[in-house]
């Protein structure tokens, strides 16, 4: 499987070449060239931030459609805890779970129930690995991928446990095979996801060779069909009580929920990709002391803030907290579940995608080139060149993907310089009353000015197209 599989895609037909995405991408994976954005697959971590900020809906997530349910003889839904937060006045998760079965699934296995198993395994792991603390949660695939490509020194601090969705998929598949007698390939394990990051995980997981999740559906696709089914279930006087998650499992849906299940106050929880990066930078600088656990979520508010949800993340968090109020602390335990399905079977390796060279000497040499180029540029980080910062443009130039002339301000400065030189030549021509050589130089400078002006006009036109001026 391609380790750089991505669920976040770009629709060039919808792209207007604005710079909203390049300014918000946490790994500087997006560039705008020729009036269209492009995504560098090696840099992208599928956090979905570009989907969130694109005003033209040119970025979108790929995921499976509901009709994939027909591909299997037996289907199992894996609802994320964040799914419950999408509905108004929900006071019993069993309404949602029974509605999923009415919707067409043959069985349901709560990801929240698996989350309680992971919480228990985490508590045990922390107590047995004091020398590895602080441990960083691996529940958010985007955060794990971010650490893999940008913070290699923190890889040893990653919690080597599978995320709840994977544990739920393993247990759901085992149960389905036992109950039906069907072979694994005829059973569809389908996760109902709040974000594209989980889609990427299912296709190219980290920590395990192959994910047991067969298909990933979007909450926003399931939501409208589920509403009608929930009304039908709610109208019944009695419906099956099939929920298996308690407060700990449900709490994983919002920021701080995972950490709260560890029964320790020595933790840090951060959400929003920019805040996550700030925390990781501080961790690398060893600014935190006495921390045992760090929970990081790429989306604002945690999973309730995923781009495949329908509710405001902060409203959703309130709904989730209200829902869990009268639940037992936990319903699922590891007593009857082997640890082998929870622990990683493969490690996470550093991927030096941001390296400027193939070896240390080449990287240092190119880094010096970058520093020299940065001094040439104005340092405004305006994005007019199509890169998010002047430093990013300099790195693109060193990699051979851009040129100094991509900087509008560099072009203008060059034009002023050429104008000054041609004025000097004109004065020399007047003093010497002729001179074929000087005349040829003037023609050459005029041609260069014309070329630079054409390029500058082109960039100004692209800028107008991005901002909508002249429409």
**78: Cβ–Cβ under 8 A, 6 or more apart, which residues?**
108, 109, 110, 111, 165, 168, 169, 172, 189, 190, 191, 192, 213
Cβ-count burial 337-369 (b if 16+ within 10 Å, e if not): beeebbebeeebeeeebeebeeeeeeeeebeee
Q: What is the pLDDT of residue 469?
A: 43
CA distance 311 to 105: 24
pLDDT in tens, the chain (471 residues): 346 789 999 999 999 999 899 999 999 999 998 889 999 999 999 999 999 999 999 999 999 999 999 999 999 999 999 999 999 999 999 999 999 999 999 999 999 999 999 999 999 999 999 989 999 999 999 999 999 999 999 999 999 999 999 999 999 999 999 999 999 999 999 999 999 999 999 999 989 999 999 999 999 999 999 999 999 998 887 899 999 999 999 999 999 999 999 988 899 999 999 999 999 999 999 998 889 999 999 999 999 999 999 999 999 999 999 999 889 998 887 766 566 789 999 988 999 899 888 888 999 999 999 999 999 888 889 888 899 999 999 999 999 999 888 888 877 776 666 666 666 656 666 556 555 666 666 667 666 666 666 666 666 555 555 545 444
Report whether 142 contacts 197 (CB < 8 A).
Answer: yes
Q: Looking up tokens 């047995």, which residue turns up?
A: 128
Beta bridge partners of 56: none
Q: What is the pLDDT of residue 471?
A: 44
Q: Structure pTM? A: 0.86
Q: What is the pLDDT of residue 296?
A: 97
**134: Cβ–Cβ under 8 A, 6 or more apart, which residues?**
157, 268, 283, 288, 291, 292, 293, 294
Q: What is the pLDDT of residue 410?
A: 77
Q: With residue 396 as reference, give the H or E element that holds it.
A: helix 390-399
Q: 1-62: which CATH topology? A: Alpha-Beta Plaits (3.30.70)
Is 187 strand, coil or helix? strand
């Amino acid at each position: 499987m391609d380790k750089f599989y991505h669920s976040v895609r770009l629709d060039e037909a919808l792209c207007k070449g604005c710079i909203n995405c390049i300014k918000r991408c946490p790994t500087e994976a997006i560039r705008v060239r020729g009036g269209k954005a492009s995504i560098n697959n090696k840099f992208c971590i599928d956090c979905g931030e570009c989907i969130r900020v694109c005003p033209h809906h040119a970025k979108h997530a790929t995921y499976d459609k509901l009709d994939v349910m027909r591909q299997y003889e037996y289907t199992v839904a894996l609802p994320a805890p964040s799914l419950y937060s999408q509905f108004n006045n929900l006071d019993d998760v069993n309404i949602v779970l029974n509605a999923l079965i009415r919707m067409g699934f043959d069985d349901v296995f709560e990801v929240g129930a698996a989350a309680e198993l992971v919480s228990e395994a985490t508590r045990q792991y922390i107590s047995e690995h004091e020398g590895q603390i602080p441990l960083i949660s691996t529940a958010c695939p985007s955060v794990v991928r971010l650490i893999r490509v940008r913070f290699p020194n923190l890889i040893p601090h990653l919690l080597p446990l599978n995320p709840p969705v994977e544990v739920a998929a393993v247990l759901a598949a085992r149960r389905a095979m036992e109950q039906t007698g069907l072979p694994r390939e005829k059973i569809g394990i389908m996760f109902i996801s709040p974000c594209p990051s989980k889609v990427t995980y299912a296709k190219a997981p980290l920590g395990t060779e192959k994910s047991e999740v067969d298909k990933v559906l979007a909450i926003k696709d399931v939501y409208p069909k589920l509403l009608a089914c929930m009304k039908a279930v709610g109208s019944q006087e009695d419906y099956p009580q099939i929920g298996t998650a308690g407060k700990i499992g449900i709490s994983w849906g919002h920021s701080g929920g995972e950490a709260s299940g560890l029964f320790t106050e020595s933790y840090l929880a951060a959400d929003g990709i920019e805040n996550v990066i700030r925390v990781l930078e501080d961790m690398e600088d060893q600014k935190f002391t006495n921390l045992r656990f760090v929970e990081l979520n790429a989306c604002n508010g945690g999973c309730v803030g995923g781009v495949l949800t329908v509710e405001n993340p902060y409203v959703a968090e309130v709904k989730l907290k209200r829902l869990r109020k009268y639940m037992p602390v936990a319903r699922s335990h590891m007593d009857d579940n082997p640890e082998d399905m929870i622990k990683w079977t493969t490690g996470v390796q550093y991927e030096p995608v941001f390296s400027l060279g193939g070896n240390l000497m080449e990287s240092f040499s190119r880094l010096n080139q970058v520093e020299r180029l940065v001094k040439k540029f104005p340092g405004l980080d305006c994005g007019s060149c199509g890169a998010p910062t002047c430093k990013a443009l300099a790195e693109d130039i060193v990699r051979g993907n851009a040129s100094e002339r991509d900087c509008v301000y560099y072009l203008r400065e060059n034009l002023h310089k050429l104008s000054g030189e041609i004025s000097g030549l004109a004065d020399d021509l007047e003093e010497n009353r002729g001179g074929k050589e000087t005349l040829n130089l003037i023609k050459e400078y005029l041609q260069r000015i014309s070329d630079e002006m054409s390029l500058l006009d082109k960039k100004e036109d692209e800028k107008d197209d991005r901002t909508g001026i002249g429409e």
